[in-house]
């Protein structure tokens, strides 16, 4: 196995911190034991938790404004994979990469799959891109893709998605995430109903090309790049489209794609109730689709989402198989550091949700004891679960303090010597 960070560095670091980790873990074990919780059982649960990283998140920026590249930034999928493997080597939380096409296009996908495997990585949902024009495309997506009036643009978008499924098959993926920017900027620009009809017709052609064990994840987004209306604007539109397409179509919730103050955790519960919860794009947001680091603005909301997921897992209605992916834009940090920190935050929320005393919660709910129901959540949210994650990570071969070891490794400086400088491109995330 190809491991970019030196094993000796990791061992030395972990050995130097073994005592404080043991002290903190034992203290937390005693605290949890007082409420009848076995810390090791929780730690084993974390060991099974993973979240995928986006290939596009390995580079800096990617929003519609300026991009400020850093020396040593990856410029192709091979370099992105190497950076993703650093995140997984240190965190042991991110063993899969979610690729985006045509951005990650190569000539040999079997070789790419092997290359990833040699770095200890597999592949998560394949993302198609029909929200920007590419050199050499016969039809522009300026007026839409799957919902465009132009039949040529629609056919091209369908074909691209089918090609993404084929690439995904070669990589060993089994989900296709479809986010389209289709929509309007002016009242009257398009007919709401007819554009949805066109979307559904085109999406059904993609659906028909899905292998049996694949899922099509429909990602809704309220606005941007279209600012008046968007074809799949909300979870309702997404749900109805998924229902019409069939059982392999599910809904994907990007946390930044809702109106301000929307109760996202309730959306999660709704989608689960009707068997359509497909997955997540984790990020945080203050104003819109900000793509800030997960939990950096509202960690409590992330916890509440995981609380619904814990409820859903305990009460599966049909299948419970949401896929977890990060979708962030790193404009002012080293993307590796942001994803290390985000993966940790996401896992923390997962653990805290696992610590909710569901018997007390349900009991308080039954008795209409609002304060105690709230306290059941609050008690779990207030626990510092860092020692559980650190112990699980170290036992799996990761490191105690991920950012410290990453900085000590001087990985980015080394890459700055090896890699060619990044161009000043722009795109939408």
Task: Map residue 96 onto helix, strand or coil.
Answer: strand
Question: 229-230 and 183-184: which strand pairing?
Answer: antiparallel
Residue from the set 219, 311, 334, 344 that interacts with ligand AOS by CB under 6 A: 219
Least Cβ distance, residue 181 to ligand AOS (angstroms): 8
Q: Tell me: does residue 254 bind ligand AOS (CB under 6 A).
A: yes
Q: Which of 326, 353, 361, 362 is nearest to 341 (CA)?
A: 326
The DSSP letter of residue 385 is -
Enumerate residues 5-64 that contact Zn ion by CB under 5 A.
none
DSSP 112-149: HHHHHHHTT-EE--EEE--SS--TT-SS--TT-STT-S
Binding string to Zn ion for residues 325 to 364, with x set by CB under 5 A, is what? --x-------------------------------------
Contact yes or no for 268/309 (Cβ under 8 A): yes
Binding string to ligand AOS for residues 111 to 150, with x set by CB under 6 A, is what? ----------------x-----------------------
**Comparison of 173 and 307: residue with beta carbon closer to ligand AOS:** 173
Q: Considering CB under 5 A, how many residues would be counted as binding Zn ion?
A: 6
Which residues have C-beta within 8 Å of that of residue 112, sequence separation ≥ 6?
A: 77, 81, 106, 171
Binding string to Zn ion for residues 216 to 255, with x set by CB under 5 A, is what? --------------------------------------x-
Contact range with Zn ion by CB under 5 A, out of 206-214, 228-236, 291-299, 304-312: 291-299
Binding string to ligand AOS for residues 362 to 401, with x set by CB under 6 A, is what? ----------------------------------------
**Comparison of 256 and 295: residue with beta carbon closer to ligand AOS:** 256
Least Cβ distance, residue 17 to ligand AOS (angstroms): 36
Residue from the set 281, 330, 412, 415 that interacts with ligand AOS by CB under 6 A: 281
**Comparison of 56 and 306: residue with beta carbon closer to Zn ion:** 56
Cis peptide before 34 (omega within 30 of 0): no
Contact range with Zn ion by CB under 5 A, out of 29-37, 149-157, 208-216, 287-295: 287-295
Angstrom distance (rounded) from CA 155 to CA 21:
56
Q: Tell me: does residue 289 bind ligand AOS (CB under 6 A).
A: yes
Residue from the set 42, 81, 402, 429 that interacts with Zn ion by CB under 5 A: 429
Angstrom distance (rounded) from CA 247 to CA 243:
7
Enumerate residues 326-345 that contact ligand AOS by CB under 6 A.
327
Q: Which of 247, 181, 260 is nearest to 214 (CA)?
A: 247
Q: Which of 249, 261, 185, 197 is nearest to 220 (CA)?
A: 249
**Comparison of 148 and 222: residue with beta carbon closer to Zn ion:** 222
Residue from the set 60, 221, 391, 415 that interacts with ligand AOS by CB under 6 A: 221
Least Cβ distance, residue 254 to ligand AOS (angstroms): 5
Residue with tokens 């997955």: 279
E strand spans, 173-276 = 175-178, 183-184, 215-219, 229-230, 249-254
Which residues have C-beta within 8 Å of that of residue 156, sequence separation ≥ 6?
A: 130, 137, 138, 139, 145
Angstrom distance (rounded) from CA 317 to CA 336:
36
Query: Within 13 Å and on the Cβ side, how many CA atoms surround 283?
Result: 24
Residue from the set 289, 308, 311, 334 that interacts with Zn ion by CB under 5 A: 289
**Comparison of 151 and 262: residue with beta carbon closer to ligand AOS:** 262
Contacts 24+ apart (CB under 8 A), 234-240: 234/258, 235/267, 235/270, 235/271, 237/196, 239/270, 239/271, 239/274, 239/276
Enumerate residues 24-83 that contact ligand AOS by CB under 6 A.
56
Q: Tell me: does residue 294 bind ligand AOS (CB under 6 A).
A: no
Q: Tell me: does residue 175 bind Zn ion (CB under 5 A).
A: no
Residues within the interface to ligand AOS (CB under 6 A): 56, 100, 127, 179, 219, 221, 254, 281, 289, 327, 428-429
List residues binding Zn ion (CB under 5 A).
254, 281, 289, 291, 327, 429
């Amino acid at each position: 196995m190809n491991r970019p960070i030196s094993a000796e560095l990791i061992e030395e670091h972990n050995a130097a911190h073994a005592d404080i980790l043991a002290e903190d873990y034992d203290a937390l074990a005693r605290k949890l034991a007082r409420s009848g919780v076995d810390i090791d059982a929780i730690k084993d649960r974390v060991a099974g938790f993973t979240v995928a990283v986006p290939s596009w998140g390995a580079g800096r920026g990617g929003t519609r404004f300026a991009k400020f590249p850093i020396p040593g930034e990856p410029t192709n999928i091979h370099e992105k994979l190497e950076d993703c493997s650093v995140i997984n080597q240190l965190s042991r939380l991110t063993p899969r990469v979610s690729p985006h096409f045509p951005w990650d296009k190569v000539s040999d996908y079997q070789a790419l799959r092997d290359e990833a495997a040699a770095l200890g990585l597999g592949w998560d949902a394949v993302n198609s891109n029909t929200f920007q024009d590419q050199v050499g495309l016969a039809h522009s997506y300026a007026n839409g893709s799957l919902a465009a009036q132009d039949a040529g643009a629609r056919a091209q978008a369908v074909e691209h998605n089918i090609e993404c499924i084929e690439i995904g098959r070669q990589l060993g993926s089994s989900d296709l995430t479809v986010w389209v920017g289709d929509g309007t900027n002016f009242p009257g620009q398009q007919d709401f109903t007819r554009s949805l009809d066109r979307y559904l017709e085109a999406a059904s052609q993609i659906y028909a090309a899905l292998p049996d064990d694949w899922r099509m994840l429909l990602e809704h987004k309220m606005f941007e790049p279209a600012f008046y209306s968007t074809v799949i604007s909300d979870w309702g539109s997404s749900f109805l489209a998924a229902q019409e397409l069939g059982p392999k179509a599910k809904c994907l919730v990007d946390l930044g794609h809702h109106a301000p103050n929307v109760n996202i955790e309730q959306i999660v519960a709704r989608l689960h109730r009707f068997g359509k919860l497909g997955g997540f794009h984790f990020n945080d947001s203050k104003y819109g689709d900000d793509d800030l680091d997960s939990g950096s603005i509202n960690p409590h909301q992330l916890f509440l989402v995981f609380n619904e997921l814990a409820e859903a897992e305990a009460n599966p209605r049909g299948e419970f198989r949401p896929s977890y992916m990060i979708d962030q834009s790193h404009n002012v940090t080293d993307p590796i550091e942001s994803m290390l920190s985000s993966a940790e935050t996401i896992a923390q929320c997962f653990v805290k949700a696992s610590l909710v005393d569901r018997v007390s919660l349900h009991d308080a709910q039954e008795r209409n004891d609002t304060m105690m129901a709230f306290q059941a959540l609050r008690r779990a949210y207030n626990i510092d679960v860092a020692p559980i994650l650190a112990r699980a990570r170290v036992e799996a071969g990761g490191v105690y303090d991920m950012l410290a070891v990453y900085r000590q490794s001087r990985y980015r400086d080394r890459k700055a010597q090896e890699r060619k400088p990044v161009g000043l491109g722009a795109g939408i995330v």
